[in-house]
Each structure stands twice: as structure tokens, then as C-alpha cells.
């Protein structure tokens, strides 16, 4: 079946109004949950083939997010979909005002390869919960997970409601020529601009979940052991192929050498060897070669070893880095952590402000003034104080970028809202009609309108 036909059929099916039924949405969300649970081994095998992800990491960083999303919407769908009454102003009396969440129609979700299940299925689930029909285009870079999702969904869901479209750049380009009611894209800023431009041709609204260079700041008032342990875990999770991983580290000069040794200690303790279950390989040779070139031997503090055949890059610490180094010019998206020393906390915040707004930012300190300055001065998508990445685990927090790191957000109710239109309704009584707004106009009527408005 051609994709144009699938999209056309989805638009026709949406117009039957079936997806607006809450029972209908819950039925298919429950079905999806059962399919994921019953096929966990198949999903784990597919992602392990793509880049060596363990069952532990696949569940904790992928499937648990997806299953929690389904449970959230099953529990909250009635309240999320319910019309909300709002106050009616004096000029519209006698009347009642309300906001009605309604689905947008046929939407396109373009997933990413680094967390191929979470970053494809989570926005898709939000779209279905909001009552839309959906085309899912997983990343072809993680080919086996793409095929696994296509198999499980296309064999169990009607294509006029939900369909996984396989393929690469050509297929994605073909998709972007079609008119959707919303496009949700997760990936690089470079490709995000292409998606945004294509969407503009149809005035299609977008959510763009991009990336950027996310800083982590460690001051002398931090709990250094906790900071080192959590930064090492968050940075080298998924071999650094995480959009909200700390991209670079800013450490106060007085604790710099001490902290570097703590980072080295935890990297060693966590045993990120070439065959370690807790460490993935780089997704492909192109990304492997790009990352290896970002490791300058003269600034290597720890790690740096690599294996081309296994697509393995050892967790790497770079010291004495400056802002002009190659590793600071682009998002790293790999297991390389450059470290820059600073002496003035407020000055380093000003330096970050001059850069593109990142998807995430992190601060490690016990100093309340530093915490307040971090929260009030810096603009970023989301972040943590005294931790990294874990803000994603709270479905009551919106997840999304700002500026160069993205447009829009999702997770929990924010995902439902991302795929909904808030329709405004004013219902007026047919009695008690004042004549003040009708012609002929008089000075007396204008005087009353000024008082009312």
C-alpha cells in the first residue's frame, strides 16, 4: 500500500469520529500495552542487534517509559478529555464558556535512533491518547528496532488508524511532502530545520525535539562524590548517545583536579569495557569515525581507546579544554566528556547565556544562591540540580527544548495537549439581549461600553 493511500485512509477514518470515543482510545492503548509486554524478548533482541543495548537498559530507559505513558493515559484520559468550564466575562453575559480538547486529525511522528522505542512510541502514544490517527516513521539507522515496531504494530492495528512506515531518507522526504495535521520530530537540529521547512509548506504545526550542548556545572559547594557518580552514570549511559546527557562539564578551579580523579574512579568502578552489558556500542561507523576525530591526544586525561570492529569507544575525559576546541563546536553525542575550569560562577553563567539555548542544563551545589541564579538566569529546556537526566522520569514535568534545542513539549498531560486543539465555546442565552452593541451608535452607548469593557 502506498503511503499516500494510507494517509488518505487515515483522514477518512478520522472523519468517522471513532477516535474521539474514549473507550475506543483506551481499547487500543490496552492492546498496545499487551503487545509490548508479550513481545519484550523480541524488542530486546532487536535493539541488541542494533547497538548492543542490554535487557536492563532496554527496560529501564525504553520500555518502562512507554508502559508508564500508557498507564498514565489509561488512568487520566477521562479527565484530560473533559471540557473545562471557564469564567464568562461581563460583555458576554448571559452565557457559559468552556474549552473542549479535540484531536487534530492525522499526525506524523518521526522517531530517533538513540532511544528508538521510547522516542518513537511515547509521542505516538500521546497522539493516540488525544484521539488522532498516526503515521509512525521510526529511524532507519536503528534498522532492527524499526522492523520490530513495524511488525508488531502493522500486524495488530488497522492501518487507517495506526501505521508504521519503514524506510530511510527517501521515504521520509516523501512523507514530508504530504499534508498532516501535526508533525512530531525527534532528532538533530540540522534535520529539524528540514522538517520545519517542509511543514511550513502546508502550515502544519510541529513539535521539534532537538538537542544541543547541555552543560553540567560543579561548584566547590557540591557533594563531589555524588556529583561525580551521577555525572559518570548520566554521561556514559547509552555510550553518551543521549540528547540530554551532559555534553560538557564546567568545574570550579579549586576542586578541578580532585574532581577529575573522582570521575576517573567511577568510570573504572562502573566497568565500561568493550563487552560490558552496561555499555552500548556506537550506532554505526559514520558516528564512530566522527567521535574518534573529536579526541585530541594532547588533552586526553582518561580513556580514549577504541575498537573499530566492535564500534567501541572507551569513556573518555578531556582536560584543559577551551571554548575554541573542535569538541566544543557541536553536540558530541558520544562517550567523550570535555572539562573546562572556571573561577567565577556568575561569569560562567553569562558565558553559557551567550551560547545557543541547550535542551538540558545541570548544576551540582549545596549553595542556595547558586541554585537560584542557575534557575533564574539560564534558559534551557529542562534540567536538574544535583542530578542529571532524571527529570525525564517525572511525567508531571514537560519535556522539550527552547530556541535552537526545540519547539514544544510532551510527557504526561503535555503530550496530550501537544496533539490536541483547545476549542473555545461560548454558549449564549437567547433572552435578556441588550441593544448597546447594535447600530445606530451613540455617545451614550460608547460611554456604557467603556465602563463595561
CA distance 423 to 72: 23
Q: With cut-offs at 50, 70 and 90, classify the pLDDT of residue 142.
A: very high
Rounded CA-CA distance 117/36 in Å is: 10
CATH of 215-392, one of 3.90.1170.20, 3.40.309.10, 3.40.50.300, 3.40.50.460: 3.40.309.10
pLDDT computed for residue 436 by the predictor: 86
Position 451 scores a pLDDT of: 81
DSSP letter for 328, please.
G
Banded model confidence at residue 198, pLDDT cuts 50, 70, 90: very high
Return the C-alpha cell found at 277.
552489558
- 91 band by pLDDT with thresholds 50, 70 and 90: confident
Alpha carbon distance 313, 336 (integer Å): 9
The single-letter DSSP state of residue 165 is -
Q: Which of 133, 134, 243, 384 is catalytic?
A: 243
Residue 105, pLDDT above cutoff 80: yes
DSSP 54-91: -HHHHIIIIIHHHHHHHHHHHHHHHHHHS-EEEPPPGG
Indicate if 243 belongs to the active site.
Answer: yes
Answer yes or no: is pLDDT of 400 > 90: yes
Q: Which member of 143, 160, 209, 314 is catalytic?
A: 209
Mean pLDDT (the chain) is 96
pLDDT at 452: 76
pLDDT at 1 exceeding the cut of 80: no
Cα–Cα distances (Å) from 388 to 41, 76, 247, 391, in that order, read 29, 28, 11, 8
What is the structure's pLDDT at 139?
97
Angle ∠(255,257,258) on CA atoms, nearest 5: 65
> Domain 3-210+405-425: which topology?
Aldehyde Dehydrogenase; Chain A, domain 1 (3.40.605)
Q: What is the mean pLDDT of residues 127-135?
A: 98
Helix intervals (H) in 85-216: 118-129, 143-154, 169-176, 189-200
Q: Where are the domains of the chain?
A: 3-210+405-425, 215-392
Q: Evaluate whether 44 touches 55 at the Cβ level (below 8 Å).
A: yes
What is the distance, to the nearest Å, from the Cα of residue 121 to the centroid of all Cα atoms in its chain? 12
Mean pLDDT, range 398-413, rounded to an integer: 96
Cα dihedral 46, 52, 58, 63, rounded to 10, equals: -30
pLDDT average, residue stretch 98-109: 97
pLDDT for the residue numbered 74: 98
- Cα–Cα dist 273/268, whole Å: 9
For position 217, what pLDDT does the model report?
Answer: 98
Can 269 be counted among the known catalytic residues? no
Query: Three-state secondary structure along 383-439?
Result: EEECCCCHHHHCCCCCEECCHHHEECEECCHHHHHHCEEEEEEEEECCCCCCCCCCC
Burial 168-178 (b: 16+ CB within 10 A, else e): eeeebeebbeb
The string of pLDDT tens digits covering residues 326-357 is 999 999 999 999 999 999 999 999 999 999 99
Q: Which helix (H) or strand (E) holds 293?
A: none
Q: Which strands sit side by side in the sheet containing 106-110, from one edge to the other?
A: 162-164, 133-137, 106-110, 182-186, 206-209, 406-407
* Residue 299 contacts residue 322 (beta carbons within 8 Å): no
Quick: pLDDT tens for 425-436. 999 998 877 788
Mean pLDDT across 156-169:
97
> Taking a C-beta distance cutoff of 8 angstroms, is the pair 217, 209 a contact?
no
- Sign of the alpha-carbon torsion through 38, 42, 45, 50: negative
Instruction: List pLDDT tens digits, range 254-300.
Output: 999 999 999 999 999 999 999 999 999 999 999 999 999 999 999 99
Amino acid at each position: 500500500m502506498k503511503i499516500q493511500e494510507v494517509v488518505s485512509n487515515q483522514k477518512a477514518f478520522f472523519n468517522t469520529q471513532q477516535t474521539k470515543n474514549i473507550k475506543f482510545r483506551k481499547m487500543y492503548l490496552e492492546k498496545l500495552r499487551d503487545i509490548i509486554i508479550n513481545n519484550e524478548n523480541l524488542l530486546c533482541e532487536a535493539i541488541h542487534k542494533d547497538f548492543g543495548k542490554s535487557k536492563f537498559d532496554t527496560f529501564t530507559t525504553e520500555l518502562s517509559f512507554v508502559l508508564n505513558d500508557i498507564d498514565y493515559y489509561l488512568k487520566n484520559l477521562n479527565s484530560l478529555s473533559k471540557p473545562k468550564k471557564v469564567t464568562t466575562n461581563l460583555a458576554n453575559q448571559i452565557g457559559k464558556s468552556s474549552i473542549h480538547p479535540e484531536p487534530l486529525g492525522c499526525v506524523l511522528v518521526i522517531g530517533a535512533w538513540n532511544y528508538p522505542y521510547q522516542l518513537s512510541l511515547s509521542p505516538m502514544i500521546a497522539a493516540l491518547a488525544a484521539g488522532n490517527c498516526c503515521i509512525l516513521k521510526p529511524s532507519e539507522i536503528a534498522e532492527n528496532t524499526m522492523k520490530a515496531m513495524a511488525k508488531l504494530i502493522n500486524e495488530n492495528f488497522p492501518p487507517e488508524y495506526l501505521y508504521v512506515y519503514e524506510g530511510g531518507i527517501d521515504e521520509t522526504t516523501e512523507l514530508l511532502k504530504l499534508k498532516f495535521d501535526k508533525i512530531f520530530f525527534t532528532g538533530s537540529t540540522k534535520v529539524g530545520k528540514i522538517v520545519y521547512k517542509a511543514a511550513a509548506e502546508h502550515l502544519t504545526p510541529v513539535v521539534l525535539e532537538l538537542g544541543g550542548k547541555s552543560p553540567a556545572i560543579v561548584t566547590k559547594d557540591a557533594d563531589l562524590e555524588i556529583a561525580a557518580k551521577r555525572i559518570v552514570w548520566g554521561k556514559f549511559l547509552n555510550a553518551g548517545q543521549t540528547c540530554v546527557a551532559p555534553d560538557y562539564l564546567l568545574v570550579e578551579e579549586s576542586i578541578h583536579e580532585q574532581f577529575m580523579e573522582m570521575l576517573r574512579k567511577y568510570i573504572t568502578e562502573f566497568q565500561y569495557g568493550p563487552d560490558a552489558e552496561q555499555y552500548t556500542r556506537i550506532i554505526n561507523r559514520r558516528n564512530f569515525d566522527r567521535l574518534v576525530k573529536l579526541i585530541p591526544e594532547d588533552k586526553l586525561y582518561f580513556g580514549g581507546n577504541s575498537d573499530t570492529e566492535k564500534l567501541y569507544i572507551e569513556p573518555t575525559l578531556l582536560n584543559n579544554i577551551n571554548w575554541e576546541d573542535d569538541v566544543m563546536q557541536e553536540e558530541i553525542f558520544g562517550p567523550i566528556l570535555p572539562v573546562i575550569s572556571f573561577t567565577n560562577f556568575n561569569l560562567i553563567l553569562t558565558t553559557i547565556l551567550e551560547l545557543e539555548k541547550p535542551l538540558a542544563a545541570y548544576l551540582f551545589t549545596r549553595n542556595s544562591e547558586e541554585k537560584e541564579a542557575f534557575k533564574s538566569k539560564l534558559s534551557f529546556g529542562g534540567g536538574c540540580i544535583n542530578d542529571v537526566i532524571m527529570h525525564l522520569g517525572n511525567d508531571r514535568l514537560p519535556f522539550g527544548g527552547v530556541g535552537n534545542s526545540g519547539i514544544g513539549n510532551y510527557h504526561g498531560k503535555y503530550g496530550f495537549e501537544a496533539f490536541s486543539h483547545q476549542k473555545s465555546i461560548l454558549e449564549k442565552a437567547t433572552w435578556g439581549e441588550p441593544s448597546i452593541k447594535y447600530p445606530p451608535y451613540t455617545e451614550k452607548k460608547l460611554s456604557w461600553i467603556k465602563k463595561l469593557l
